[in-house]
Structures are given as C-alpha cells and as structure tokens.
Chains A and B, each alone.
Chain A
Amino acid sequence: MNPPANNTGPGHTSAAIPMIKILGSVSLMCGILIVATQITTLGRITHNKEILLRESIEQLLPGMHKQITYGIEPSGDLKILPGLEGKGHRFFAGYDASGNFLGIVIEAGDRGYADVISAMYSYNPDRRTITGFQVVAMRETPGLGDKIRSDPGFLANFKNLEAEPDHPITTVKHGSKRNPWEIDAISGATISSRAVGRALETSVQTVTPVIARNLDRIKRGI
C-alpha cells in the first residue's frame, strides 16, 4: 500500500529551495536597479521641484529678487528654512532688489473631485487680502474642473479676496458673490471651486495669525 501524499516531505523542501533562490536573486536585481536609478535621479528631481516652486512664487510676486522660506514650528514660532526645502506649514516671503518687502506666498491644498488640489496664493498682510492664486498640481476633470487653473472669471476672485479670520472664505454659486470674502464658483465645476475655497480658508486660519504676530520680523527678513 502506497503511503499518503505528503506535501511537506524532504523532496518538496529541496524543490522549493531553487525557487526561493531565483526569486531572491530577481528581487535583489530589481532592488539594485531601483536604488541605482533613485540615487542617480534624486538631484535632478529635487532641482526640478525647486524650479517649479520658484516659478510659482515669482509669478505670484512679480519683481521678486530675494525670497526667504519660513517654517511654522508646533509651538507657533517662526523658523527660517534653508532654500525652498521644508515640511509642515511653511510660507515664502518675497523682497525686491532693494530689499523691500513685497508680500507672502502660502501653500494650500484640499481634496477636489479627483484628487488633492495643491495651490499657492500671494497674501498681503497689511491689507489682509489674497492678491493672487495659482494651482500647482491637480487632477480635475479636463474641460470642467481643470478650469480652476485658467478660467479668467474664477481667477479674478483672487485679485483682492479678503482673508480675515473673522470672515471665513466661502465659495458661492456662480453669479451670487456679494461679499469680498466670497469666491464666485465656476458653473459646472462646483466641487473643484469649493475645494479651492476650503483649501484657502484652512490655510488662512492656520498661517495668517502666525504672520500677524511676526509681521515686523518678516518684513525685515530676519
């Protein structure tokens, strides 16, 4: 009588070893290729991201000659960050060639229709208004939601948008804007328009009180 089939016998173990060796070798080869590519391209990727960020800041603060990156520490204090690097809440102060303070560029983001909308806006701390807006990254529907990047009527909202903590920035239905802190939505792209409003409101509530407390220091660039 034959013994019952045993899947855990020494024969199966010896057959599994070459497979493990091959899979291990393939994984090692893949790992080496990925790490080599990552190391080779890291400098270029960081450089490209900095260029993109710098271009966005320069477009929002025309005439900018020098820029300082400020990070907000958990305690609420400001810290100057080297270059454009930094994680967490941060903003960029811009100065002209004579060293005069031009304004502040702040990052904002919220979930839109397809993915997170990442944007930047320029902020005038003396008048407490948003003076410009630019979408950095998004995946909104082409032809509809992606108009938040280019629609002249929508972008006109951000030429002088009041950003007081007392009046929350709100997105209203297209054509029904009545107050200076309201954003006139794009018809057919309400979800994306509202996401922009939420992103700005969250950012204004978080960052502008810190700016107000440290405005003299920021204007002097220290």
Chain B
Amino acid sequence: MSDNQAPIACHGATSHAVDDSPFVNGLWKHNPVFVQVLGMCPTLAITNSVRNAIAMGLATTFVLALSNGLVSMIRKIVPNQVRIASYIAIIATSVTIVGYLVDAISIPVSIALGPFIPLIVTNCITLERAEGYAAKHKVTKGVLDGLGTGLGFTFALTCLGTIREVLGSGTFLGFSLFGPHFEPWVLFVLPPGGFIALAIWLMIFTTWRSWRAKLKKATTKPGLVAIAEVHS
C-alpha cells in the first residue's frame, strides 16, 4: 500500500515540494522512514547497532543513486510495458555491485550485515524512487534524489541505532558509555526494541513537524490577512 501511496506523497499537490531540491526532499521533507514509513524491514532488523545502521544506510544510498541514475538514463527508450522489469534488473545489478564493494572494503561489516545487503533489492524505497522520480527526470536530478533519499534513510537508521545500541548494549559505536556495572536493556537489541525505538522517533519527528507547521502558519497569517484586506 505504501508503494502505491508513496509517489503521491512525494510528488503530490504541494507546489513547494516540486520546487525544492530533490536532494533536500529525499533527505528531510519526505524522509523515507520518518515521513513515508517505507523500508521498514531493514529499518527494524539492522538497527541494533549504530555501525550496522550506518553501513546499511550507505549501501542503500549507493544503490539508490546508481539505480536512479541508470533509470533516468534509459527513461526515454524503455517501452512502458517492460519498464518495471528493466528497473528491477537495474536495481538488482546495483545491489550486486554494492555486495562486492562491501566485501572489498570490509569483510567484518559484510558478515555483520549478512543477508540484508542482497535484500536491499526488495526494499520498496528503491523501486518507488526509480518509478516515482527517476523515470520522469534527468540523470542529475535522479542521482540527487537517490543520494538525498539514501542519506535520509541513513539518518533515520542511525537515529534508531543510537537508541537501540545505547540502551540495549550500553555502548555507542562499540565504545562503552556507562562502565562495566551497567545492566543493558536487552529488549532494545531484540525485534520488539526496534518497534519501540521506531515509535519513539516517529513521535518526536511528527511532533516537531506539526509544531513547525503551526509556527509557520502563525507567522504567515498576518500577511494573508493583509492581502485579504487589500482585495476586499
């Protein structure tokens, strides 16, 4: 359902969203996790440590940028009937390339991420950005959108990973924070902890966004009143 709704949410009627940079949109305004609530499988599964969260986020960023760039490049020559098959082949290729690169950079990181690197191919964010944005825009914009969305995903994963690692293991990036006497809340490194951490961040993000919207509304109101008075 999210897949169908996401393009509408990203490129809907809000004119400022269309005008803004695709990088900023992906990174913040339409953050894939905190706003669109997409890609929940890796979000919950891999965020039990900050290191894994950052590695997973950067791998997804690379896949998004590469696949968006390639999809934008071929957008004018691909017939409508075979576009999804082409996009999936491109995304799968990007994921395979990332797998090789992670192995080449660090085997321990590759072992830690386990099967979640190949599973990026099933992350709905990748196909949504290819179909919803890259297939309708130039290569530069497509790559920028991929980078923005990927870094937004990395940011969200790091936020979740921070809560889960600090509370669940008493460490941050592997460094002990509370000394040997700290009794970690193991719940936070287990799947239920992922849901709890996600709920906490969604609450913070949504509250902050609604507060910002109210503030914006309050500051623009006198101007609207003045315009209305001129017209009357």
Contact = CB atoms under 8 A, between A and B. Distances in A.
Nearest to A188: B186
B97 A34 contact: yes
Nearest to A20: B82
Interface stretch (A23-31, A72-80, A82-90, A211-219): A23-31
Given A19-B81, A52-B108, A137-B111, A30 B90 contact: yes
Contacts of A156: none
Interface residues of A, number: 26
A33 interface: yes
Nearest to B103: A45
B189 A143 contact: yes
B78 interface: yes
A26 B79 contact: no
A22 interface: yes
A182 to B, nearest CB: 27
Contact of A30 (B92, B100, B114): B92
A41 B189 contact: no
Contacts of A38: 100
A27 B79 contact: no
A144 interface: yes
Contacts, number: 70
B108 to A, nearest CB: 7
A195 B51 CA distance: 27
B41 to A, nearest CB: 15
B168 interface: yes
B107 A48 contact: yes
A29 B90 CA distance: 9
A141 B190 CA distance: 8
B194 to A, nearest CB: 11
A139 B111 CA distance: 8
B79 A18 contact: yes
B79 A22 contact: yes
B189 A19 contact: no
B103 A48 contact: yes
A33 B184 contact: no
Instruction: Give the 8 A-B residue pairs with the shortest CB-CB distance, closest first.
Output: A30-B93, A41-B104, A44-B104, A143-B186, A143-B189, A142-B189, A41-B100, A48-B107
27 contacts: A19-B81, A22-B79, A22-B86, A23-B85, A26-B74, A26-B78, A27-B89, A29-B70, A30-B90, A30-B92, A30-B93, A34-B96, A37-B97, A38-B100, A44-B104, A48-B104, A48-B107, A49-B107, A137-B111, A139-B115, A141-B190, A142-B168, A142-B189, A143-B48, A143-B168, A143-B186, A144-B186
